[in-house]
């Protein structure tokens, strides 16, 4: 379900790309229709039937049975489309090779009938109509010269076509639009499937693997950007050190250390807003920024964070660990740079660790 929602979201946000691809396919279909030589189709129909000169009813019945087997109809169809009849007709009409370029002749027998269809296709509607009727007449003459039991005659003469069967811009436009739409959707889905892993990799590069908080590099980069873009807004910055782990961390199994660090991060996030940032500063220290937060609310927020971290962490073994958190908080000056804020924050943290209060504020 998640992948489906992602796919639909990709389609919704990429509708412009989808539109461009679809219009591109449609434009290509129209251009192709304009530059393609029109092809016309003209057809004559023929009827095969027993010869009227048959003398007995038995001969008539026998000939009808033969016609039902389709052998005669198929034979006559092959004769009409034969190279001999075609070449003889072309020679009589004195058509050159250039006039007959892209011309195609074939026959078919209509299902469950003794009706033959001679089809001539080509770029010149007048020529193919003339050719169809003359091939038909020439074929009839040839057939009558060698077959007497069954007769063949025109049922309908070929008529000059007014509309080409190829290209058909309207149909091709619909097909191109459908193909463009499908191609666009596939492109967006592929793009989304590639983009999500890249975003995940990018996100992982910003995260401390053990605590799942942001890493120090990302926090410093974000702080530096905020200092420039939001020069007139407050940006409190604090460092929270876990003194209670100083003597324990080297002896704790990796799994327990991970459990403790992730519990710390969960507690910090529970007390913060969505745009506040928590990052792991070093092995036992976390940093917190509170964008656009004035001094008094910022100090109170850090007090609540310390109160939350003063609650012991319960281990799977049933033991408890007291974190004993201390914090140094920096209130931004108008002329503060990223380096000066970090330096003041570390000095404030050192004061908190050396003093009797667990929170030191550098104003």
Residues 217-246: pLDDT tens digits? 999 998 888 888 887 888 999 999 999 998
Render pLDDT for 113-150 as a digit per residue (tens, 0 to 9).
889 999 999 999 999 999 999 999 999 999 888 877 78
Render pLDDT for 245-256 as a digit per residue (tens, 0 to 9).
988 888 888 888
Burial classification of residue 143, based on how many CB atoms lie within 10 Å of its CB (0-12 exposed, 13-18 middle, 19 or more buried): buried
Which residues make Cβ contacts (< 8 Å) with residue 333, sequence separation at least 6? 340
Render pLDDT for 250-306 as a digit per residue (tens, 0 to 9).
888 888 899 999 999 999 999 998 889 999 999 999 999 999 899 999 999 999 999
Question: Radius of gyration over alpha carbons of the chain, in Å?
Answer: 44
For residue 239, give the 3-state DSSP assignment. Answer: strand
Question: What is the model's pLDDT at position 129?
Answer: 95
Select 40-156's CATH number: 3.90.1150.10, 3.40.190.10, 3.30.70.1130, 1.10.10.10: 3.30.70.1130
Mean pLDDT computed over every residue of the chain: 84
> 32-69: string of b/e by CB count within 10 Å (b at 16+)?
ebeeeeebbbbbbbbebebeeebeeeeeeeebeeebee
Write the CATH number of the domain with boundaries 214-362.
3.30.70.270
The reported pTM is 0.50
Segment (H or E) for 32: helix 15-35
Fold: same for 40-156 and 214-362: yes
Render pLDDT for 150-189 as a digit per residue (tens, 0 to 9).
888 999 999 999 999 888 888 888 888 899 889 888 887 7
Q: How many residues does the chain have?
A: 363
Give CA–CA dist 106/85, Å, rounded. Answer: 12
What are the extents of the domains in the chain? 2-35+168-205, 40-156, 214-362
Give CA–CA dist 1/244, Å, rounded. Answer: 44
Confidence of residue 64 (pLDDT cuts 50, 70, 90): very low
Question: What is the model's pLDDT at position 286?
Answer: 95
Q: Has residue 55 got a pLDDT over 50?
A: no
Segment (H or E) for 120: strand 115-122
296 — alpha (psi -120 to 50), left (phi > 0) or beta? Answer: alpha
Question: What is the model's pLDDT at position 305?
Answer: 95
């Amino acid at each position: 379900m998640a992948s489906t929602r992602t796919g639909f979201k990709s389609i919704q946000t990429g509708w412009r790309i989808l539109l461009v691809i679809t219009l591109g396919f449609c434009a290509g279909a129209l251009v192709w229709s304009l530059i393609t030589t029109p092809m016309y189709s003209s057809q004559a129909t023929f009827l095969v039937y027993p010869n009227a000169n048959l003398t007995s009813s038995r001969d008539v019945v026998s000939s009808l049975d033969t016609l039902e087997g389709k052998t005669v109809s198929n034979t006559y169809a092959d004769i009409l489309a034969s190279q001999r009849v075609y070449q003889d007709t072309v020679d009589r009409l004195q058509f050159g090779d250039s006039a007959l370029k892209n011309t195609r002749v074939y026959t078919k027998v209509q299902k469950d009938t003794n009706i033959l269809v001679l089809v001539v296709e080509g770029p010149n509607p007048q020529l193919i109509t003339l050719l169809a009727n003359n091939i038909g007449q020439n074929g009839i003459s040839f057939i009558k010269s060698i077959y007497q039991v069954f007769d063949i005659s025109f049922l309908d003469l070929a008529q000059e076509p007014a509309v080409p069967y190829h290209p058909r811009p309207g149909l091709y436009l619909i097909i191109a639009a459908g193909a463009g739409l499908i191609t666009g959707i596939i492109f967006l889905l592929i793009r989304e499937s590639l983009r999500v892993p890249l975003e995940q990799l990018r996100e992982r590069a910003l995260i401390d693997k053990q605590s799942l908080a942001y890493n120090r590099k990302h926090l410093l980069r974000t702080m530096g950007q905020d200092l420039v873009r939001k020069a007139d807004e407050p940006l409190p910055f604090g460092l929270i050190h876990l003194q209670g782990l100083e003597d324990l961390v080297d002896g704790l199994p990796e799994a327990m250390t991970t459990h403790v660090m992730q519990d710390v991060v969960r507690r910090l996030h529970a007390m913060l807003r969505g745009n506040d940032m928590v990052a792991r500063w070093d092995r036992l220290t976390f940093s917190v920024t509170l964008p656009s937060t004035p001094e008094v609310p910022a100090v109170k927020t850090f007090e609540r964070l310390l109160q939350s971290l003063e609650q012991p962490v319960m281990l799977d073994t049933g033991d408890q660990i007291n974190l004993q958190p201390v914090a140094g908080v920096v209130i931004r000056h108008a002329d503060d740079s990223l380096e000066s804020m970090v330096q003041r924050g570390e000095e404030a943290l050192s004061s908190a660790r050396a003093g009797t209060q667990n929170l030191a504020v550098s104003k």
